[in-house]
Amino acid sequence: MNSTRRSFIKNASLLAAGAALPVNAFPFVQGKVAATDKIRVALIGANGMGFNNLASFLKNPEIACTALCDVDKNVLDKRTKDLTELGAPEPKHFADYRKMLEYKDIDVVIIGTPDHWHCMQFVDSLEAGKHVYVEKPLGNTIAEINIMQKAAKRYGKMVQVGQWQRSQPHFVDAIRFLKTGALGRIRTCKAWSYVDWKGPVPKVPDTPVPEGVDYDMWLGPAPKRPFNKNRFHFTWRWYWEYAGGLMTDWGVHLIDYILYGMDKAIPVSVMATGGKYAYPEDDMVTPDTMTAVYDFKDFTMIWEHTIGIGLGNWRRPHGMAYIGENGTLVLDRNGWEVVPEKQKTEAIPVQKNVGVGLDLHVRNFIDCLKNNAPGELHAGIDVGRNVALVAQMGNIAYRTGEKVYWDDDKQLFSTPAANKMITPEYQNGWKLPQ
């Protein structure tokens, strides 16, 4: 190992604590950085967004992929073929991430697994001396996200959470305008996701485990149950054991920018309602229609989601709105604009998106690693923890049917039913990290 590489590893270890891309969307970059100076990346969970993240990393000449880990051998074989066809060296294969973490040629771990695995893989990766890029939401329960925040601070490694809108230029520009105060006092904010491209999840019978799949490892700490394809690739997010539905999928991205724009982290209360109104007989468990109302003392935030309808607020299927006394700023992934309130401020036409947010987010992480600059991360551990907490609060209010009040000093709710949902019960011999 040369001095440049040794310096990178030493300095980074001393730190104080998107949209899908086709595999052919990136060129494999060769010959610009010596092999001894490469940042070696490994991926856990290679089927969906995890591989999109890896593709974005590999657009940068400093990056080499040294290992892939997935419980599905079919996915490992496919992704290896994808990489080698683009000229990348064949990475090592692992079905058990713990074995992968014993491999020495890894500097950074990308975690792209279902949400119920994030906490354990995150803590184990940090303990193994790796830096981490972890998909959102940070964790699947409040206890897990708090453990992950503490682990990041304890081990002092670099952590970036995959809330890539934090790196999207037009999002940043919109918040810069918001901070000018031109909208006047803001009393209400909205965030929403109307998903017309998704239909029902038809019920299907349980089946034998597909060949090449380590299903026990896929379940991990989740309750034991027979294999069902609805609870496997992609559609796992509609079941509480593994994820939190649209609230923790789209909600984490969009609510994050409300917190960012309003300089808030924790609400005092939340109430929520909804249900399976679109497809009451399908197999999803999480609500396909839901509204949550958060009280931040000096403003409210309303979250809305629905499946099967695409015409959302301000004729946008997703977005955020900061509703001020002088006007409203409306923001989504395509751009932002200002709608005046009775001519109290000037209208601003749509300011369009520029750049690929995921690529910029990954580049920010790489630059912070190289420059030993944790303070310049766009979505560090605290950003990920705060919005994951807010999203989990909304789901808990929905599931209990109660208006819940949060005591941030005690890290507890006001009711026993809500408090029972703070900490998960790990199954199958797995233990919640302490």
148 is written with which tokens? 């992950």
352 is written with which tokens? 């369009």
Residue 168 pLDDT exceeds 60: yes
| CA–CA dist 332, 340 (Å, integer) | 18
Q: What DSSP letter does each residue of 33-89 carry, written as one string?
A: S-GGGPEEEEEE--SSHHHHHHHHHTTSTTEEEEEEE-SBHHHHHHHHHHHHHTTPP
- For residues 146 and 226, membership in a common domain is answered with no
303 is written with which tokens? 């979250």
Instruction: Please report the pLDDT score of residue 37 as a whole number.
Output: 83
| CA–CA dist 73, 88 (Å, integer) | 19
Q: Is 426 contained in some domain?
A: no
Cis before 424 (ω within 30):
no
What pLDDT band is residue 18 in, cutting at 50, 70 and 90? very low
Residues near 181 by Cβ (< 8 Å), separated by ≥ 6? none
Q: Is 376 contained in some domain?
A: yes
For residue 347, count other CB atoms closer than 10 A to its CB. 10
Instruction: Please report the pLDDT score of residue 35 as a whole number.
Output: 73
- For residues 248 and 345, membership in a common domain is answered with yes
Q: Are 347 and 318 in contact (CB under 8 A)?
A: no
- For residues 375 and 276, membership in a common domain is answered with no
Instruction: Please report the pLDDT score of residue 17 as a whole number.
Output: 27
- For residues 265 and 397, membership in a common domain is answered with yes
Residue 405 pLDDT exceeds 60: yes
- For residues 112 and 203, membership in a common domain is answered with no
pLDDT > 70 in the chain, percent? 93
| CA–CA dist 71, 209 (Å, integer) | 12
| CA–CA dist 147, 119 (Å, integer) | 8
359 is written with which tokens? 């690529």
| CA–CA dist 13, 82 (Å, integer) | 32
Residue 3 pLDDT exceeds 60: no
- For residues 198 and 93, membership in a common domain is answered with no
Q: Is 213 contained in some domain?
A: yes
Q: Please name which of 403, 386, 385 lies closest in space to residue 394, comparing C-alpha atoms.
A: 403
Domain that holds residue 408: 169-353+387-419
Q: Of 5-9, 99-103, 226-230, 398-402, where does mean pLDDT reach its minimum?
A: 5-9
What pLDDT band is residue 36 in, cutting at 50, 70 and 90? confident
What pLDDT band is residue 434 in, cutting at 50, 70 and 90? confident
Vertex 193 angle, CA 192 and 194, to 5°: 120
Instruction: Please report the pLDDT score of residue 394 as a whole number.
Output: 98
Instruction: Please report the pLDDT score of residue 16 as a whole number.
Output: 27
| CA–CA dist 47, 236 (Å, integer) | 13
pLDDT tens profile 295-333:
999 999 999 999 999 999 999 999 999 999 999 999 999
| CA–CA dist 339, 325 (Å, integer) | 11
Ramachandran angles phi, psi of 338, nearest 5°: -120, 125
88 is written with which tokens? 């990348």
Q: Please name which of 191, 182, 176 lies closest in space to residue 261, comparing C-alpha atoms.
A: 176
184 is written with which tokens? 């006047």
Q: Is 160 exposed, middle or buried (0-12, 13-18, 19+ CB in 10 A)?
A: buried
Q: What is the CATH number of the domain that holds 106?
A: 3.40.50.720
- For residues 189 and 299, membership in a common domain is answered with yes
Ramachandran angles phi, psi of 140, nearest 5°: -100, -5
Q: Please name which of 385, 390, 378 lies closest in space to residue 160, comparing C-alpha atoms.
A: 378
The mean of the pLDDT values for the chain is 93
50 is written with which tokens? 């995890």
CA dihedral 96, 99, 104, 110 (to 10 degrees): 20
Residue 25 pLDDT exceeds 70: no
Q: Is 175 contained in some domain?
A: yes
- For residues 84 and 209, membership in a common domain is answered with no
Q: Is 227 contained in some domain?
A: yes
For residue 88, count other CB atoms closer than 10 A to its CB. 18
Amino acid at 66: T
In the block, which residue shows the tokens 């949060």?
406
- For residues 183 and 160, membership in a common domain is answered with no
- For residues 162 and 178, membership in a common domain is answered with no
Instruction: Please report the pLDDT score of residue 33 as a whole number.
Output: 79
For the residues 270-297, what does the mean pLDDT come to? 98
| CA–CA dist 393, 422 (Å, integer) | 9
- For residues 233 and 155, membership in a common domain is answered with no
What total number of domains does the chain contain?
A: 2
Q: Is 339 contained in some domain?
A: yes
Residue 23 pLDDT exceeds 70: no
Instruction: Please report the pLDDT score of residue 34 as a whole number.
Output: 80
Region class of 155: left (phi > 0), else alpha (psi between -120 and 50), else beta:
alpha
| CA–CA dist 210, 228 (Å, integer) | 10
Q: Is 425 contained in some domain?
A: no
| Three-state secondary structure call for residue 322 | strand
pLDDT tens profile 238-264:
999 999 999 999 999 999 999 999 999
pLDDT tens profile 74-118:
999 999 999 999 889 999 999 999 999 999 999 999 999 999 999
Q: Are 123 and 433 in contact (CB under 8 A)?
A: yes
pLDDT tens profile 423-432:
999 999 999 9
What pLDDT band is residue 14 in, cutting at 50, 70 and 90? very low
Residue 147 pLDDT exceeds 80: yes
Please state, in angstroms and as integers, the Cα–Cα distance from residue 210 to each residue in 112, 207, 351, following that order. 21, 8, 48
- For residues 68 and 139, membership in a common domain is answered with yes
Q: Are 381 and 17 in contact (CB under 8 A)?
A: yes
CA dihedral 178, 180, 182, 188 (to 10 degrees): 40
Residue 68 pLDDT exceeds 50: yes
Q: Is 434 contained in some domain?
A: no
Q: What is the CATH number of the domain that holds 178?
A: 3.30.360.10
pLDDT tens profile 188-237:
999 999 999 999 999 999 999 999 999 999 999 999 999 999 999 999 99
